[in-house]
Copies of this chain bind each other. A is one copy, B any other.
Amino acid sequence: TAYRLPHSTWTGHNSFSPRSHTCAELRSKHVGEDVTLCGWIQYQRHDLFVILRDFSGLTQLLIPQDESLVHLKNTLRGLPLESVIKVTGKVKRRPPGQENQEMPTGEIEVCVESLEVLNICRKLPFEIKDFTKKSETLRMQYRYLDLRSPQLQANLRLRSQLVMKMREYLCNIHGFVDVETPTLFKRTPGGAKEFLVPSREPGRFYSLPQSPQQFKQLLMVAGIDRYFQMARCYRDEGSKPDRQPEFTQVDIEMSFVDQMGIQALIEGLIQHCWPQKMSPVTVPFPSMTYCDALREYGVDKPDTRFEMKLMDISEELYSTEVGFLREALRQREGCVQAIRVPGGANHLKNKDLESLRQTAQTQFNQEVSVVVLKADGSWKSPLSKLLPDAVKQQLLQRTQAEAGDLLLLAAGAVEVVRPLLGKLRLQCAELLEAQGVAIRDPSTFHFLWVVDFPLFMPKEEDPDELESAHHPFTAPHPDDAHLLYSQPHKVRSQHYDLVLNGCEIGGGSIRIHNASMQQYVLETVLKEDTSLLSHLMEALDSGAPPHGGIALGLDRLVSIMVGAPSIRDVIAFPKSFRGHDLMSGAPDFVSEEGLRPYHISVDWPAGHHGVKGN
């Protein structure tokens, strides 16, 4: 009841709670105050001190040495680490010379006068401070202990604040409406990666959608005008590194907007939510066409924090006699391309060069020629003897390579050479960084729009047929719309990707709002069965406004911002890469009885022997 009134004036981290301060709050200005703290025993020292921890930080408690409080001293000394206590005491300045500059509360200590043991920690698989050294499996199994680490606490709190700022920007500043859309939906055409949810009607299943794409467009038809949602999405991809079966996207859709409008909205959003203590982002973000990205970086999500761009050296080698180069140049779309790795010869070891060749071989089934430019300017490379000096000179001029650099050359079809060199470019950056060479500043953030994607791509299994480069609702580029009906493969789209430090963190498009164009794309170009999308076609014909949107991958964005190696580090309870929850043991077996209401049974593979567990 002490906490009851006057609660309307309470704010901050200590409201509705018996504590007067958090464990990171006390400074020398509090000396002499009586305070109450709650937290975990981080460690004890010399029977004199207890370090108390809560979500915010640490405070040193002084164990009283007077005879009258001997029971308190004995209790405090006897408590296992990670036990939870509430203490009341007086703030004292630490004796001169005993201040801790590393600790925000290092000027003071709290002289304990009374103690309440709230819970005793009886079992701990390992000490919290050693946690980060433990295997990830163990950390996942005891995720609630892992989350006590300052780093994971900071990650989850930054994520929460980031999302709050995004909501303020969208909802309060720009009039967006936060609308929740269903996750129990119908399987979409080609929805092979959608989890199924059996219903109680025999044979009927819901599907957990990969994104609210249909709903967000329908909300525009419904006149919502501006929609956003922090949308839970599902993707069943089996095991994939650093993917999660459920993930969160910042889902946005707007009516009466064009591509520039969405891009400006997102630039403002990122700027608004960007933490002040990080180096600021400037807007507008640079923009690059899909074609330029592939030509210069070999990928559609270039890491523009460093150079080492791809260079086409076909012209320089036009009249070469070297067999594999001539062969490459003769083939359709054949080329020879190179990247220059500054300082590569100085810093990369033989095993590094070998790993580059290995990547080319295993991932692309290609050869890569490595040219080491020695200190004296001579070439160390099998090519050295094969190429005339004049050509070598031309290549050095073209690539601006100098002594101490490395040149990587690849020859072949352009659609193989580019991704290969794009990959090796990134690998070189990593190898150099591993040698201590500064390539990418971890505190800078390079946002980049990639635009003018093709609307359709040839199908891998049948290159004469087309499939959507992104999804079938993407509108054609206005300059190319006339080609849609004659040469669809040449049409660029109004799709845009947002790239951050070489990772795709978002993508979106202006959508088709014309029913007959949508029908043409689905039926004539893509040869899709439109009956599953009839509700969407009908909707477009009932007064659909022009609209477009975007989805940002929240987990990925946050993980890049905090410099985490995996999205698992910014998700409270992630699944393992096999999709397991190692703490609870999900997914788990279900009894036949448990399946009966859903009219399904398990098809056990040969060798299994029926239902287990539960």
Residues of B within 8 Å of A542, CB to CB, are 82, 121-124, 142, 144-145
A173 / chain B contacts, CB cutoff of 8 Å = 11-12
Contact of A256 among B38, B205, B596 (CB under 8 A): B38
Cα distance A356–B487 in the bound complex, in angstroms: 73
Check if A240 is an interface residue, CB within 8 A of chain B: no
Pick from B124, B202, B222: contact of A147, CB under 8 Å? B222
Which residues of the partner chain B approach A226 to less than 8 Å between Cβ atoms?
Answer: 13
| Chain B CB within 8 A of A458 CB | no
Task: Say yes or no for A599: interface residue by CB 8 A criterion.
Answer: yes
A149-192 at interface with B (beta carbon < 8 Å): 153, 156-157, 159-161, 163-164, 167, 171-175, 177-187, 192
Question: Is residue A221 contacting chain B, with contact meaning CB distance below 8 A?
Answer: yes
In the bound complex, CA of A180 to CA of B8 (Å) = 28
Given contacts A205-B590, A260-B4, A589-B204, contact A600 B599 (CB under 8 A): no
Q: Does A307 contact B (CB under 8 A)?
A: no
Q: Which of A88-96, A297-305, A324-332, A577-585 contacts B (4 or more CB under 8 A)?
A: A577-585
In the complex the two chains form, is A539's CB within 8 Å of B144's CB? yes
- Determine if A242 is an interface residue (Cβ-Cβ < 8 Å): no
Structural contact, A543 and B121, CB atoms closer than 8 A: yes
Question: Is A357 an interface residue, CB under 8 A from the partner?
Answer: no
Kindly provide the distance from the CB of A120 to the nearest chain B CB, expressed in whole angstroms.
Answer: 8
Q: Contacts A144-B218, A202-B602 given; indicate if A164 touches B172 (C-beta within 8 A).
A: yes
Q: Which of B186, B215, B261, B265 contacts A572 (CB 8 A)?
A: B215
Expressed in whole angstroms, the Cα–Cα distance for A11 and B176 within the complex equals 11
Q: Which residues of B contact A579 (CB under 8 A)?
A: 199-200
Binary per-residue interface labels of chain A (119-133) against chain B in the complex, 1 for a CB within 8 Å, 0 otherwise: 101111000000000
A236 and B268 alpha carbons, distance in the complex (Å):
41
- Does residue A40 face the partner (Cβ distance < 8 Å to B)? yes
Copies of this chain in its oligomeric complex: 2
Q: Would A586 and B185 count as touching, CB distance under 8 A?
A: yes
Contact flag A195-B197 (CB < 8 Å), given A218-B144, A586-B184: yes
Given contacts A147-B219, A602-B203, A611-B203, contact A179 B541 (CB under 8 A): no
Contact status B181-A171, CB under 8 Å = no
What CA separation (Å) do A195 and B604 show in the bound complex?
Answer: 21
Is the C-beta of A7 less than 8 angstroms from some C-beta in chain B? Answer: yes
User: How far apart are the CA atoms of A185 and B584 in the complex, in Å?
Assistant: 8
Contact status B197-A585, CB under 8 Å: no
Q: Give the docked Cα–Cα distance between A218 and B173 (Å).
A: 35
Asked if A376 is at the interface of the complex by the 8 Å CB criterion, the answer is no
- A430: CB under 8 A from chain B? no
Q: A185-B586, A535-B583, A542-B145 are in contact. Are A179 and B160 (CB under 8 A)?
A: yes
Give the shortest distance, in Å, between A325 (CB) and chain B (any CB): 44
Among the stretches A16-24, A59-67, A312-320, A476-484, the one at the interface with B is: A16-24
Residue-wise interface mask of A (237-263) relative to B, using a CB-CB cutoff of 8 A (1 in contact, 0 not): 010000001101000001111101110
A603 within 8 Å of B by Cβ? yes
Minimum distance in angstroms from A532 CB to a CB of chain B: 8
Q: How many Å from the CB of A163 to the closest CB on chain B?
A: 6
* Bitwise interface map of A from 10 to 50 toward B, beta carbon under 8 Å scored 1, else 0: 11110111110000000000000000001010000000000
The chain B residue sitting closest to A15, CB to CB, is B174
| Residue from B84, B195, B514, B538 within 8 A of A119 (CB atoms) | B514
Identify A3's interface contact among B157, B258, B539, CB under 8 A. B258
Bound complex: CA of A130 vs CA of B588, how far in Å? 50
Residues of chain B lying within 8 A (CB to CB) of residue A248: 180
Whether A594 sits at the interface, judged by CB under 8 Å, is yes
Cα of A487 to Cα of B18 in the assembled complex, Å: 31
The residue that A581 contacts in the complex, of B185, B195, B265, B515, with Cβ under 8 A, is B185
A590 to B185, CA, bound (A): 13
**In whole angstroms, how far apart are the Cα atoms of A124 and B602 in the complex?**
45
In the assembly, what is the distance between CA of A313 and CA of B181, in Å?
A: 52
* B-side contacts of A146, CB under 8 Å: 222
Q: CB of A98 within 8 A of chain B?
A: no
Q: List 30 A-B contacts (CB under 8 A).
A: A3-B261, A3-B264, A4-B284, A15-B174, A40-B223, A40-B545, A82-B543, A84-B543, A122-B541, A123-B541, A143-B218, A144-B218, A147-B219, A153-B224, A159-B178, A161-B171, A164-B171, A164-B172, A180-B571, A182-B575, A183-B183, A186-B584, A187-B590, A196-B595, A198-B198, A199-B579, A200-B236, A218-B583, A600-B602, A601-B603
